[in-house]
Amino acid sequence: MLDIKKNFSLKNFNTFGINVYARYFINVKNIEDLQKTLDRYPYIPIFFLGNGSNILFLKNYYQGLVIKMGIKGKKIMKENNSKVIVKAFAGENWNEFVDWTIKKGFNGLENLSFIPGTVGASPIQNIGAYGSEVKDTLLEVQVYDIYSGIIRKFTREECKLEYRNSFFKYPHVKNKFLILSVSFLLSKKYKKLNIYSIEIKKELKYMNVKKPTPYDLRKVIFNIRNRKLPNPKKIGNAGSFFINPIVKILDLKKLQYEYSTIIGYYFSKDKVKISASSLIETIGWKGKKIGDVGVYEKQPIVLVNYGKASGMDIYYFSEKITKKIKEKLGIVLSKEVNIIQ
């Protein structure tokens, strides 16, 4: 029997801590219950929820059905002396999955440690950190076609993974496919770690670690993130609210000529990725607070809910930031957070 709840509070299911209610809510733990739920509610809006760490509800009441993806499990699919294919279902906690791979002696995901969210959400955003992205190791994605009820697979190439983007975010297919599981191709043999990030190098030097292991790198990333990012259990937030914009190298140099606080990183032969935090700091909004919404002082790319802010409060605050950056710097800042109407 389906355990569908009515007028269900989502306050503990979104890391902004917004007190929003869902008309209907269910935590599905297998594909059969998922199919039954979709069959029962064919004509109302549906939102699929992971850990709620990258979303912003604009209204205090969601008129449709919220389906919490609770399908879990992880296993080794195939391996040889040097490589291994591992599969994790969508409801698995991403950080716990990364920890599991490291403990198994599998390498490739260690730079993505402590990113909040679920395995199912990882390909949609092509999550990345400290020089690594999901696309570096992703092999295939298993999805459920909501309209046809067919289960199919997407290869890494078909997922069209780019910086903070994928095929699953394209307008014509958005909300059409529900990710059920993700498979990764990892290394079993110890390889040289990706420690090219300036922050990682500094932390390794501070820790006096000269030949880091994946465990060392995981600890390094924990230390960095713990210093920079607020704990959503204490201060409501969704991590990085904005996407670091990508511009031509010449455009960055022009900006830096006038504003020395703007920071850029290599992205491709002729393009750079600008730190959104440095843009927010440049317009003087670092640590700024209006009501219960603010820019986190240690990491300006993070917007925080200091108490009783609504989704609209946070949204309008973010719009003020993007408007000022466009007016002063000529840069269009996009949101990384998924806005739910």
**Active-site residue set:** 164, 240, 336
38 φ, ψ to 5°? -65, -35
Instruction: Please give the radius of gyration of the chain, using alpha carbons only, rounded to the nearest integer.
Output: 21
Burial of 280 (0-12, 13-18, 19+ CB in 10 A): buried
Burial of 171 (0-12, 13-18, 19+ CB in 10 A): exposed
How wide is the angle at C-alpha 55 spanned by C-alphas 52 and 56, nearest 5°? Answer: 125
Residues 16, 202: Cα–Cα separation, whole Å: 31
Residues 99, 94: Cα–Cα separation, whole Å: 9
Written as six digits, the tokens of 332 are: 């269009």
Looking at residue 13, the DSSP 8-state letter turns out to be G
Half-sphere exposure of 62 toward its Cβ, with a 13 Å CA cutoff? Answer: 29
Residues 181, 153: Cα–Cα separation, whole Å: 9
How many angstroms separate the Cα of 144 from the Cα of each of 58, 95, 120, 149, 303? 27, 24, 12, 6, 33
Query: Using CA of residue 227, residue 232, residue 237, residue 239, what is the dihedral sign?
Result: positive
DSSP 125-179: HT-EETTEEGGGTEEEEEEEETTT--EEEEEHHHHT-BTTB-GGGSTTTTTTEEE
Helix (H) or strand (E) holding 324, with range, is helix 311-329
Burial of 260 (0-12, 13-18, 19+ CB in 10 A): exposed
Count CB-CB contacts under 10 A for residue 91.
21
